[in-house]
Amino acid sequence: MSDPRPDPMPGPMPEPLVPGPRTAELLDRYAASLLGVFGVPQLVLDHGEGPWVWDVDGNRYLDLVGGIAVNALGHAHPVLVSAVAEQAAAMVHISNFYTSAAQVGLAERILAAAGAPEGSAVFFANSGTEAVEAAVKLARRTGRTDIVAAEGGFHGRSTGALALTHKPAYRDPFAPLLPGVRHVPYDDVDALAAAVTQATSAVVLEPIQGEAGVIVPDPAYLTAAREITARAGALLILDEVQTGVGRTGTWFAFQQAGILPDAVTLAKGLGGGVPVGALVTMGPRVSHLLAPGQHGSTFGGNPLAAAAGIAVLDTIERDGLLAHATAMGEHLVARIDALGHPVVAGVRGAGLLRAIVLTADVAPAVAVAARSAGFLVNAVTPSALRLAPPLVVTADQLDSFVEVLPGLLDSATSQEGTR
């Protein structure tokens, strides 16, 4: 099958894109064959290139979701494609009875990017959830059982990680969960200080809360969390599954806070779309908490995943994508602020993890309108649109979205008014 690839950028108000017969057929088959936990998929995608994706009917979209902060290099990046192809041709998987140059190389690069002290170490998993599970077991090895997490926090959906995730709709159907977890209001130093005791094994926080709507705490919050945990002898574990690997303009968000956590969880952007997660333990004391045999994974850090991770980190470094993410994030904020649109309350976030905050609960309607205008964005909350585009996105591409945004907001709010 040949793919029509329309070339020019979409204009300010393009013809609405309408998924066609291939989409309809595949969605029918999806409904008859996939577990319904994700609801009805918004699109049936076929391929991508850079920040663009095409659906199976040939419609092109600018992907400002980026696989939810995963596709750091965009789609079909030649460096990632050849790294994966070459590694697949050499060997895909070997089990953790053995290691590979790719696995060792990725661990070293992660530690270097994190500025991790001597004696730090990496455990490879296959997802963010699994990285968090490893962190929970790490915390247990302190000999204490209590964990303090934050309201609004998202840490994954396996039953251990779910105990740290705060959202009642995700938790309640599966109660009782892991005991000893307490949630405190995010960005509230006093609440954190009051909750952390000598029984606290770890405080687990996102440096910016992603799923809660890209909530950025006061810069002093993470510093205070570092001090509070150090004083109580508890670990500070930062969940950088969403914020890590350049997403916020530095390798890791904790670097902007000027602190060193005891452990960091990574996943999403790390493999550029190839599943790989990691727990990074800082320094020998923390790195020795999990002894041989106390944790493991069949697939974790296999050569294929590790080669993808190396390709991502190398490309971010070689192409200056940290500075680019910072610049593009600031550009986006300036352009949206300049609109002065009454429905836009502001833009939150850092680097290329952003939320356009709306004055009304129209984010889902705006996301639908955006899609038919050829732009993928995510209604992360009823009143916030999340943008987590590939780090390679250009100013012109972001501008093309900002140009249509007022029209999208107007159409969504007028629908709201007529309801």
Ligand X SMILES: *Cc1c(COP(=O)(O)O)cnc(C)c1O
Name beta bridge partners: 55.
45
CB of 212 to ligand X, least distance (A): 10
Residue 137: active-site member: no
Structure-token match 């964990």, residue found:
147
Closest CA to 228 of 263, 190, 260: 190
CB of 68 to ligand X, least distance (A): 7
Cβ proximity to ligand X, 157 vs 335, nearer residue: 157
Quote the tokens at residue 389: 């585009």
Residue 172: active-site member: no
CB of 163 to ligand X, least distance (A): 13
Cβ proximity to ligand X, 57 vs 239, nearer residue: 239
Structure-token match 């596709």, residue found:
71
Residue 404 near residue 373 (C-beta atoms within 8 A)? yes
Using CB positions, name the residue nearest to ligand X. 128
Closest CA to 112 of 311, 314, 286: 314
* Contacts of 201 by beta carbon, 8 Å cutoff, 6+ apart: 139, 140, 142, 143, 144, 145, 146, 147, 234, 235
Query: CA angle, 281 as apex, 288 and 87 as ends, to 5°?
Result: 110
Q: How many helices (H) and strands (E) does the chain have?
A: 15, 15
Cβ proximity to ligand X, 171 vs 268, nearer residue: 268
Q: Which of 146, 239, 252, 262 is catalytic?
A: 239
User: Which residues sit at the interface with ligand X, rule CB under 6 A?
Assistant: 127-129, 132, 154-156, 206, 210-211, 239, 241-242, 267-268
Cβ proximity to ligand X, 158 vs 372, nearer residue: 158
Cα distances from 102 to residues 105, 334, 360, in angstroms, run 5, 40, 48
Neighbours of 248 (CB within 10 A): 29
* Contacts of 70 by beta carbon, 8 Å cutoff, 6+ apart: 268, 269, 272, 273
**Interatomic CA distance for residues 170 and 331, integer angstroms:** 35
CB of 403 to ligand X, least distance (A): 29
Helix, coil or strand: residue 33:
coil
**Interatomic CA distance for residues 104 and 203, integer angstroms:** 29
CB of 376 to ligand X, least distance (A): 17
User: With the C-alpha atoms ordered 95, 102, 64, 362, is the resulting torsion angle positive or negative?
Assistant: positive
Cβ proximity to ligand X, 74 vs 160, nearer residue: 160
Name beta bridge partners: 376.
63
CB of 227 to ligand X, least distance (A): 23
Q: Which of 154, 252, 254, 375 is catalytic?
A: 154
Cα distances from 199 to residues 52, 168, 192, 234, in angstroms, run 49, 25, 14, 8
Q: Which of 123, 268, 375, 401 is catalytic?
A: 268
Cβ proximity to ligand X, 146 vs 239, nearer residue: 239
Cβ proximity to ligand X, 129 vs 397, nearer residue: 129
CB of 308 to ligand X, least distance (A): 14
Name beta bridge partners: 281.
121, 263
User: Going along 100-145, which residue ranges are E strands?
Assistant: 121-125
Residue 268: active-site member: yes
Give me the active site residues, please.
154, 239, 268
